[in-house]
Amino acid sequence: MSGARELAAAVRAGERSARTVTEEALAAVAAGDGEVHAFLTVMGDEALAQADAVDAAVAQGRDPGPLAGVPVALKDNLCTRGIPTTCGSRILDGWRPPYDATVVELLRAAGAVALGKTNMDEFAMGSSTENSAFGPTRNPRGLDRVPGGSSGGSAAAVAAGFTPLGLGSDTGGSIRQPAALCGVVGLKPTYGSVSRYGLVAFASSLDQIGPFAANVEDAALLFDAVAAHDPRDSTSLPGVHPTTLEAVRAGADHVRVGLCPDLIEGCAPDVASRVYEAAEALSAAGAKVDEVRVPEFAYGLSAYYLIAPAEASSNLARYDGVRYGLRVEADDAAAMNTATRTAGFGAEVKRRIMLGTYALSAGYYDAYYAQAQRVRTLVVQAFDRAYASFDVLLGATAPTTAFALGAKVDDPMAMYMNDVCTIPSNLAGHPALSVPFGSGADGLPVGVQILAPALAEGLLFRVAGALEAGAPRPGTRS
C-alpha cells in the first residue's frame, strides 16, 4: 500500500476511489491478519460507508479532507460509537460505546477511513501486547517476536502494510516502543495537544494519543489532523494548531542535539551503536551534536511504576459490573463487584491495581506516591536544565530489538524495563518520537528516540525527517 499522502492526493484528485482503497486494505487484513492478529474488530461495513461518503464528496466537488480515503487503524481503547471497544479486556467484552472519541470524529472529518480496532495490552498495561485477553499480536518483521506494546496492534497494522496510519496511546512508551520494535514511526505528542475525550483512561496525568505511520511525513500528516483544542477534555491545551508536515523537509541544520548517554547506556550494544550512528548522521546533516548528561532519568522508571498504577487503581474502580461491561452475579453488591473484577481483569491489570492501591494506602502514601511525585519534579527540572543548552535530546527508544513471544511475560520487572528510555517524556508531559534507524544484530528494526520540550513537535519532525533521510537501508545490520 502506498503512503498516506499519496493515497489522499490520489483520492482527492479523483484518480482512485476511497472505496477501492478501503476494499484493498480490507482484503490485505483478511489475507494477512490471521498470522499477525493486529485487529480485534474489523469495521468492514462502517469503513466502506465512510469511503463512499468520501467518494461522494469528491464527486460533488466538496473538500474530502487532508486524509481523504486513507485507512487508519484505531487502538481498541478509543471509543467508537456502536463498535465494540474492549481495551483488550474481558471486562469490556461486547461493550459498544454510545459516543465517539474526539480523535475518531476528527479523523472522519479529515476524510480518513477507520478500518478497525487494534489489539493492545489490557488497559494499555504492558510492553508486548501479550497481556491482551484476546491473544497476542505477532511482529510482522518477525512472527516469533512481540510487536511491543501496549499499542502493538496499531504498530503491527502499519508495519504489515494493512493501513498506512494508526492511532495509539502512550502512557509510558506505548506508542514509541512498539513503533521501534515494528520499524515504523511513532509520536507521543505533548500532553494536552490531542484530546483524551473518548480515550479509556489508564493514568490520566500521563496518557496521550498519538500517531503511527510508515514514514515521517505521514506521521506529521496524521498528528496535524488530530491535534486540536477540545472543550470536552479539561486538560486540552488551548490554541493547538500544529503544522508539522512542513517541518519534515526543513532539515536539521543548526539544530542543537543533546546526545544523552543516560538514554543509551542501559541498551543492548547493537541498539546503542545505532543511536551513535544516528548522532553522526545528524552531524552530517548540519545539526550541532553534543553530549548531555541527565542522570535524573534513572529515577523515572521507579517513579512511573508508582504514579501510573496509583492513577490506574483509581481509574479502574469504575469497572464494577453496574453500568457497562461484564457482570458476574452474586448475592450482594460488594460480592458482585469482587466477582466481576476478579473474573474480568487479567493478571497484569490486577498487579497494577494492587500496586497502586498499596502506594496510595495509609502509611505508604508518603514513602511511595508523594515521593514519586517529587521525582517527577526532579525529572522536569532536569529536562529544563538540558533544554537550556539543547533544542532536542537523542537516545534509544527501547533497550533491545523485538524480543521473543513469551520471553518476559512472567517477569513483570523485566517487562517494565522496556520503558526506561520512554518514561521521562511522559512524566514531564513532553513530546517524543521514535523513528526507525537501521537494524540490530538480529536484523530486526532499531528505533531512535528524539525528545523535545512541550509543543516542540515541529523540531521533532525536522530531526526525524533528517534521520529518515540519513538512515541505513532497511535490513542493514550493525
Partner 1 sequence: MTAPILPGAEPYSAAGDERGALVLHGFTGNPQSMRGLATALAAAGLTVELPLLPGHGTAVADLVPTGWDDWSAAAEAAYIDLAARCTSVVVVGLSMGGTLSVWLAERHPEIAALVLVNPLVVPPDAETVAFIDSLIEAGDELAPGVGSDIALEGASEAAYSELPLRSARSLFDAAAAVERGLGSVRCPVLLFSSVVDHVVDPVSGECLAERVAGPVERVRLERSYHVATLDYDKDEIERRTVVFVADRLARAPVRPLSRHDVVHVASLARLSLSPDEVDLFTAQLRTVLEHAADVAALDLAHLAPTAHPLPVVNVVRTDDPRPSLDRSEVLAAAPSVEDDRFRVPRIGGEAP
- Kindly identify the residues of this chain, within the stretch 163-222, that bind partner 1 according to CB under 8 A: 191-192, 205
State which residue, 28 or 308, has the beta carbon closest to partner 1.
308
Could you tell me which stretch among 173-181, 220-228, 251-259, 320-328 binds partner 1 (CB under 8 A)?
320-328
Least gap, CB of 180 to partner 1 (angstroms): 23
Question: Which of residues 313, 397, 401, 418 is near partner 1 by CB under 8 A?
Answer: 313
Neighbouring C-alpha atoms within 13 Å toward the C-beta of 52: 6
State which residue, 369 or 403, has the beta carbon closest to partner 1.
369
Question: Which of residues 172, 321, 424, 453 is near partner 1 by CB under 8 A?
Answer: 321
Q: Is 130 helix (H, G, I), strand (E, B) or coil?
A: coil
Exposure class string for 273-310: b at 16+ Cβ within 10 A, else e: bbbebbbebbbebebebeebebebbebbbebbbbbbbb
State which residue, 229 or 256, has the beta carbon closest to partner 1.
229
Question: Which of residues 342, 443, 475, 477 is near partner 1 by CB under 8 A?
Answer: 342
Distance CA 141, CA 292 (A): 33
Question: Which of residues 223, 297, 299, 403 is near partner 1 by CB under 8 A?
Answer: 299
Q: Does 228 bind partner 1 (CB under 8 A)?
A: no
State which residue, 145 or 376, has the beta carbon closest to partner 1.
376
Could you tell me which stretch among 242-250, 251-259, 334-342, 459-467 binds partner 1 (CB under 8 A)?
334-342
Question: Which of residues 149, 325, 399, 465 is near partner 1 by CB under 8 A?
Answer: 325
Residues in contact with partner 1, counted by CB under 8 A, come to a total of 77
How far from the centroid of its chain's Cα atoms is residue 236's Cα? 18
Distance CA 426, CA 266 (A): 19
- Which CA distances in Å does 322 have to 77, 92, 169? 20, 12, 27
Least gap, CB of 367 to partner 1 (angstroms): 5
Orientation angle between helical segments 4-12 and 216-226, nearest 10 degrees: 60
The three cell numbers locating residue 132: 491482551
- Which CA distances in Å does 95 have to 45, 79, 99, 396? 19, 10, 12, 38
Q: Does 123 bind partner 1 (CB under 8 A)?
A: no
The three cell numbers locating residue 415: 517487562
State which residue, 82 or 475, has the beta carbon closest to partner 1.
82
Map residues 405-424 to x or -, x wherever contact with partner 1 holds by CB under 8 A: -------xx--x--------
Question: Which of residues 20, 273, 283, 338 is near partner 1 by CB under 8 A?
Answer: 338
Question: Which of residues 281, 427, 432, 455 is near partner 1 by CB under 8 A?
Answer: 427
State which residue, 159 or 316, has the beta carbon closest to partner 1.
316
Of residues 7-26, which lie at the interface with partner 1 (CB under 8 A)?
Answer: none
Q: Does 303 bind partner 1 (CB under 8 A)?
A: yes
The three cell numbers locating residue 46: 462502517
Distance CA 278, CA 466 (A): 10
Of residues 352-371, which lie at the interface with partner 1 (CB under 8 A)?
Answer: 353-355, 357-358, 361-368, 370-371
Between strands 165-169 and 71-75, the pairing is parallel
State which residue, 342 or 476, has the beta carbon closest to partner 1.
342
Given a contact cutoff of 8 angstroms between Cβ atoms, the answer to whether 8 and 69 are in contact is yes
Catalytic machinery residues: 75, 150, 174
Q: Does 428 bind partner 1 (CB under 8 A)?
A: yes
State which residue, 345 or 437, has the beta carbon closest to partner 1.
345
Question: Which of residues 30, 31, 62, 96 is near partner 1 by CB under 8 A?
Answer: 96
Closest CA to 4 of 195, 245, 168: 245
Map residues 369-398 to x or -, x wherever contact with partner 1 holds by CB under 8 A: -xxxxxxxxx-xx-----------------
Angle, vertex CA 445, rays to CA 432 and CA 414, nearest 5? 70
In what helix (H) or strand (E) does residue 78 lie, and over which residues does it extend?
none
Distance CA 67, CA 71 (A): 9
How far from the centroid of its chain's Cα atoms is residue 199's Cα? 12
Least gap, CB of 192 to partner 1 (angstroms): 6
Least gap, CB of 32 to partner 1 (angstroms): 32
Identity of the amino acid at 320: D
Identity of the amino acid at 147: P
The three cell numbers locating residue 51: 469511503
Could you tell me which stretch among 22-30, 219-227, 242-250, 347-355 binds partner 1 (CB under 8 A)?
347-355
Least gap, CB of 440 to partner 1 (angstroms): 26
Peptide linkage before 236 cis (omega within 30 of 0): no
Distance CA 166, CA 185 (A): 10
Least gap, CB of 226 to partner 1 (angstroms): 18
Q: Does 53 bind partner 1 (CB under 8 A)?
A: no
- The size of the chain, in residues, is 478
State which residue, 34 or 98, has the beta carbon closest to partner 1.
98
